[in-house]
Amino acid sequence: MPYSLNIHIEAWPLAGAFRISRGTRKVSDVLMVEVNDGNYVGRGECFPYARYGEDIDSVQKQLNSVRSEIEHGLDRQALLNVLAPGAARNAVDCALWDLEAKRAGVRVWDLADLPAPEPVTTVYTLGVDEPAIMGERARENSDRPRLKLKMTGDGADLERVRNIHKNAPNARLVVDANEGWTIEQYLEYAPQFKELGVEMIEQPLPSTDDEQLSGVDRPIPVCADESCHDRATLQSLVGKYDMINIKLDKTGGLTEALNLRDAALKQGLSIMVGCMIGTSLAMAPGILVAQAATIVDLDGPLLLAEDRNPGLSFTGSIIHPPEPRLWG
């Protein structure tokens, strides 16, 4: 067999408890995949997400179900037909990109026929908490150019944003409801958030209810996250959203992420590049997609107690492209 597939289960403690509308997390449980051709090793990382019916065991089973095909030299294009979009395919796809670049002695962007990536500026995410606590955390991070604020739909979200804007008046703001609002809350909050410096609202309604966004006033751009996975989901978003959040764990890797980005831009949709909470290995491929993004959310390593070594180089909120020792 030309390749061998190795799967590693890893737990990365967070710097503090991180809460969104669906629950609280203290550890990021990821899978790291290695594809070895005997001379070079390509690596990829994924985060199984319960919202999409994934966990560590189910993703590991998916990977093992296609082990034979991968070890017999499955390429990235064939992978699109073997695994569905999701975490498992993401880890393998990114590992194959990394392996191919190492074997060719070039960078991944050369393989993709893309310009060398420039540094990008990421948001810094504040998990949901009491309004006063979120306000204090905003004060502590008021020098960051853009803050992303997790909302929960509990009736205190407007107070949260007011406190944050007061304590970080120069920071640009985006809010993420994680499907936690009703249409009535969206209609109430959106115009007031605009006055508080909010630039974008991410996934205000459950994906099953987002038809309610059709035809309503959108004073702030609205971004699809849970409603957008890959190109197959793109057409249903037109008229409801102004932007899509591309996450490699949803698209199933860099290959589809680049295709989705190009297709969305042709539809007139703006691009956000997002992440699950993971290490620099998970963020590195996203930097290529982020070159055309209006908003970049690749702050996963900043939320960890400790990152992978070597990791990405951060200068405040600026992320520099990955070194070859990390990925690509």
**Cβ proximity of 94 and 288 under 8 Å:** no
> Would you state the pLDDT for residue 25?
85
> Would you state the pLDDT for residue 139?
97
pLDDT band of 19, cuts 50, 70, 90: confident
- Give the pLDDT confidence of 276-319 residue by residue, as tens digits: 999 999 999 999 999 989 999 999 999 999 999 999 999 999 99
> Would you state the pLDDT for residue 201?
98
pLDDT band of 18, cuts 50, 70, 90: confident
> Would you state the pLDDT for residue 292?
86
Q: Residue 201 phi/psi, 5° resolution?
A: -120, 125
- Give the pLDDT confidence of 47-71 residue by residue, as tens digits: 999 999 999 999 999 999 999 999 9
Q: Cα dihedral sign for 282, 171, 201, 183?
A: positive
- Give the pLDDT confidence of 111-147 residue by residue, as tens digits: 999 999 999 999 999 999 999 999 999 999 999 999 9
Is pLDDT of 17 > 80? no
Q: In the structure encoding, which two tokens stand for residue 284, read together?
A: 């590195």
Question: Which residues are the active-site residues?
Answer: 150, 247
> Would you state the pLDDT for residue 23?
77
> Would you state the pLDDT for residue 1?
59
CB atoms within 10 A of CB 210: 21
Q: In the structure encoding, which two tokens stand for residue 301, read together?
A: 């390593």
Give the predicted TM-score (pTM) of the model.
Answer: 0.95
- Give the pLDDT confidence of 228-276 residue by residue, as tens digits: 999 999 999 999 999 999 999 999 999 999 999 999 999 999 999 999 9
Q: In the structure encoding, which two tokens stand for residue 215, read together?
A: 């035809």
In sequence order, the β-bridge partners of residue 195 are none
Q: How many CA atoms lie within 13 A of 162 on its CB side?
A: 8
- Three-state SS sequence of the chain: CCCEEEEEEEEEEEEEEEEECCEEEEEEEEEEEEEECCCCEEEEEECCCHHHCCCHHHHHHHHHHCHHHHHCCCCHHHHHHHCCCCHHHHHHHHHHHHHHHHHHCCCHHHHCCCCCCCCEECCEEECCCCHHHHHHHHHHCCCCCEEEEECCCCCCHHHHHHHHHHHCCCCEEEEECCCCCCHHHHHHHHHHHHHCCEEEEECCCCHHHHHHHCCCCCCCCEEECCCCCCHHHCHHHECCECEEEECHHHHCCHHHHHHHHHHHHHCCCEEEECCCCCCHHHHHHHHHHHHHCCEECCCHHHHECCCCCCCCCEECCEECCCCCCCCC
**Domains of the chain and CATH, by start:** 4-106 (3.30.390.10), 120-319 (3.20.20.120)
> Would you state the pLDDT for residue 287?
98
Q: Cα dihedral sign for 264, 265, 270, 274?
A: positive
pLDDT band of 109, cuts 50, 70, 90: very high
pLDDT band of 196, cuts 50, 70, 90: very high
- Please give the share of the chain, as a percent, with pLDDT higher than 70: 99
